[in-house]
Amino acid sequence: MTERRRLTGLAGRFLSLSGGRVIGAGAVFLANLLIARTWSDETLGMFSVLMAISAILIQICSGGYHSIATVYTARYRANKQWGLLNGFIRQASKVRLIGTVLAAFISLVYLLWGMNAELTPTILSALMIAASVYIGTTLYFCSGVLVGYEQQERALLPETIIRPLFFLVSLGAFAALGLALSASLIFLLFTAINGLACLTIWHFFTRARPETRDDTSDKDQKSRWNKAATPWIITSLVWDFFVELHILAAGMIVAPAQIAILHVCFRFRILAGFGMRTIYMLMLPDVYAAHARKEPVGHKIRRMCLVGTAYALCVMAGFYVLGERMLSLFGPQFAQALDILLIMSGAILVRGLLGPVPALLSMYDQHLPQSIVMSACLVASLTAIPFAYDAMGIAGIAWCYVISNAVGTAILWLWLTCVVMRRPVDGQEPA
């Protein structure tokens, strides 16, 4: 009966969190549709490039700390190590400040020499991206800490509800006024609204932190955090931002109208992926806490994979039945991209079958293997894009995305199940 109540409660929280994600994702899709219909599909394509630059820089300039925030928060919380948690938070703040300066330089170089687009003034665009990066790194780190505290609703509210709805309403107001907006101005608007979301989550974050502000971390502890976080820069680029990397790569060889098609298909795939993320967000903190207490976690992982696989099959069936109709909302040229959408959705099925492998490896303090494997997959995929595009058009880019994800996930899954999880519990590093 206890297990049944637990599953019922989990299902209820999943529906509420997924409902919030669907509302937010729906607002994002409507915003993309509004940009394409009101201003142009070229404007949408250039805006997606700016968003991709910002998203990638957030991963690089955060130092990987927001990717390990949940596992370390759950670990220190389970063992009541509040001084170490405070030290972890302070170290992440220092990395974010350094990363912001780095983001301004990288974006300036890319905009000046990497693109032949009318993004003027370039310096202003670089500063906008840097501001977006600092806001984004703060938002996602605080969200990861809140998930570690099992406050998933507060962790998701600013990102999934506040930001997309305010962005959609603001765009609608500009469209109603008949104002001409460039991609840079739309990105500036998004950055301002993202700042509002960041202030909201910061409020939740400060309330969740322990009252004590003692910092018991030392130089060795900070070195351990840096060693754990750094490989996640590459891993997160591949797992969470492989979409943006493909959009940037496509921007070098594909016309803006085709980039818009890829952008829309990827957005639908990401929308479907929100449900999978919600499942893992709800179930992983319990796995992390059990592992920190040296309890068996194999049955918890298998249950998580079973739930994820069932969800992935439902997603693929839904895309097959409704995908063409959903794509046609953006215009007749988008309706012909159903095959691309179905190809991309294969990545969701792989994640459902094999589970959140990178997060589980991180739980076992295995950070470097996944970085090496996914780096190799990233290089192979980006190298193959020009050849795949010549052979199959933009569908080739979708295949590069799916195959590289599947191969990397399978290798890491074998490493997790055949090597890492077979080690005795007593041999683990104390949490």
Q: Which range is least confidently modeled, 16-25, 342-351, 365-374?
A: 16-25
Residues 79-137: tens digit of each pLDDT: 888 888 888 988 998 998 888 888 777 777 766 665 554 555 667 777 777 888 899 89
Q: Which range is least confidently modeled, 4-18, 21-35, 57-71, 128-142?
A: 4-18
* Residues contacting residue 42 through CB under 8 Å, at least 6 positions apart: 256, 257, 260
Looking at the chain, the whole-number percentage of residues with pLDDT higher than 90 is 8
Query: Residue 427: what pLDDT?
Result: 43
d(CA 267, CA 246): 13
Residue 240 gets the label, from left (phi > 0), alpha (psi -120 to 50) or beta, of: alpha
Looking at the chain, the whole-number percentage of residues with pLDDT higher than 70 is 88
Q: Over 90: is that where the pLDDT of 200 sits? A: yes
Specify the pTM.
0.73
How many CA atoms lie less than 13 Å away from 188 in the CB half-sphere?
A: 12
Tokens of 141: 């780190």
Domain boundaries, the chain: 17-229, 233-431
Residues 255-272: tens digit of each pLDDT: 777 777 887 888 788 778
Query: Residue 213: what pLDDT?
Result: 67
Query: Residue 139: what pLDDT?
Result: 92
d(CA 127, CA 203): 25
Residues 295-349: tens digit of each pLDDT: 777 888 888 888 889 989 998 898 888 888 888 877 777 877 888 888 888 888 8
Q: Over 50: is that where the pLDDT of 144 sits? A: yes
Query: Residue 183: what pLDDT?
Result: 81
* Residues contacting residue 158 through CB under 8 Å, at least 6 positions apart: 139, 143, 197, 198, 200, 201, 204
Query: Residue 211: what pLDDT?
Result: 64
Q: What is the DSSP string of 219-279?
A: HHHHHHHHHHHTHHHHHHHHHTTHHHHHHHHHHTTS-HHHHHHHHHHHHHHHHHHHHHHHH
234 versus 205: the higher-pLDDT residue is 205
Query: Residue 111: what pLDDT?
Result: 66
Mean pLDDT of 62-79: 86
Residues 158-183: tens digit of each pLDDT: 888 889 999 999 999 998 888 888 88
Query: Residue 202: what pLDDT?
Result: 92
Task: Quickly state the pLDDT bin for 426 (edges 50, 70, 90).
Answer: very low
Mean pLDDT of 382-406: 87
d(CA 335, CA 324): 5
Q: Over 50: is that where the pLDDT of 1 sits? A: no
Backbone angles phi, psi at 167, to 5 degrees: -65, -45
Query: Residue 115: what pLDDT?
Result: 55
